[in-house]
Amino acid sequence: MRRPNARRTMSVSSFFTLVMLFAGLALAACGAATNASDRGATGGPPNPGSPAVMEPTADPVATTERRGIFFRHVTLRDAPYSNQTELVIDLTLPDACTELHHAVTIDGKRIRVEVWGVGPSDQMCAQVLREETLVIPLGVVVSDDWIVELNRVEIDVNSVAREEPGSGSHEYGYAMIEQVEVRVGDERPRQVVADVQGALPDACAELVESPEITFDGAKVTVTLQWQRPRDLMCAQVLRPFTTSVDLGELEPGTYTLVVNDLETTFTVETN
């Protein structure tokens, strides 16, 4: 025989079971809605009306290269409005893109000036020679006991100091050097010859016949200059040249050879 409280007990249990079931369904529905919203924001298709996010793109890096320039005339002069000496360089740039750069270093009474050209390596440039004048303040007053070097070539301060550019019947400049090869003879003492390849700035310029050669211990410096009549109209074309410079008889050892702004080393063997 069934007891009176049995049905009441079962009804309470069923009620709590239904409550738990509905609560679970509600939580599941909320979780599904949240996941759908997340997919629309991050991983899945964007919600209608959401703005597109553009990823930034890196700008291409411009590449440059160092280019040779021609020095037509170099002088030192007193700056007109300051108490210092200026280096005045008449030069020729090889094309329409090359830009001038320079640096000045002072070490005691020695001033080193570096001048070079920089142009884009991935861009076609009009092959038009450009003549410019570069004025570089040296920051000090240069007297006769100072040493001034331009691209590792020493300038004779006594002969060019305070000379006004544009004087004289000829213009002079440093030849552009592209390659230097050293030949050492078999006899003792060894006869050494430097074969030099380079370029002249125009159709009128010619190499100065006797290059200047100086020896400072194991360092040999050769200065190759060109000359041309002043105020002469010349075709602006680069002219390659090859010349041989006799360095004389050298004892065995390792030497540093500087031809204008190109430096190399060579060895004179004992045997």
Asked whether the predicted pLDDT for residue 248 surpasses 80, the reply is yes
- Average confidence (pLDDT) over 91-95: 86
Token pair recorded at residue 29: 């529905």
Query: Percentage of the chain with pLDDT > 90?
Result: 22
pLDDT given at position 8: 46
Q: Is the pTM of this model over 0.85?
A: no
Arithmetic mean of pLDDT over the chain: 77
121-134: per-residue pLDDT in tens?
888 888 888 888 88
pLDDT given at position 168: 55
pLDDT given at position 61: 58
Nearest to 182 by CA among 257, 261, 249, 262: 257
pLDDT given at position 53: 52
Based on its alpha-carbon atoms, the radius of gyration of the chain, rounded to whole angstroms, reads 40
12-68: per-residue pLDDT in tens?
455 555 556 555 555 555 555 445 444 444 445 555 555 555 555 555 556 888 888
The residue among 75 and 35 whose pLDDT is bigger is 75
pLDDT given at position 178: 93
Asked whether the predicted pLDDT for residue 268 surpasses 60, the reply is yes
Of 59-68, 89-98, 208-217, the one with minimum mean pLDDT is 59-68
- What's the number of CA atoms in the CB half-sphere (13 Å) around residue 131? 9
Asked whether the predicted pLDDT for residue 176 surpasses 50, the reply is yes
pLDDT given at position 12: 47
Phi, psi of 205 (to 5 degrees): -70, 140
| Confidence label for 160 from pLDDT (cuts 50, 70 and 90) | very low
Token pair recorded at residue 259: 């031809």
**DSSP type of residue 49:** T
pLDDT given at position 238: 87
pLDDT given at position 6: 44
The residue among 181 and 229 whose pLDDT is bigger is 181
How far apart CA 261 and CA 150 sit, in angstroms, is 9
pLDDT given at position 88: 86
Burial of 223 (0-12, 13-18, 19+ CB in 10 A): middle
How far apart CA 157 and CA 195 sit, in angstroms, is 29
Residues 6+ positions from 257 with CB-CB distance below 8 Å: 180, 182, 194, 220, 222, 247, 263, 264, 265, 266
Query: Percentage of the chain with pLDDT > 70?
Result: 70
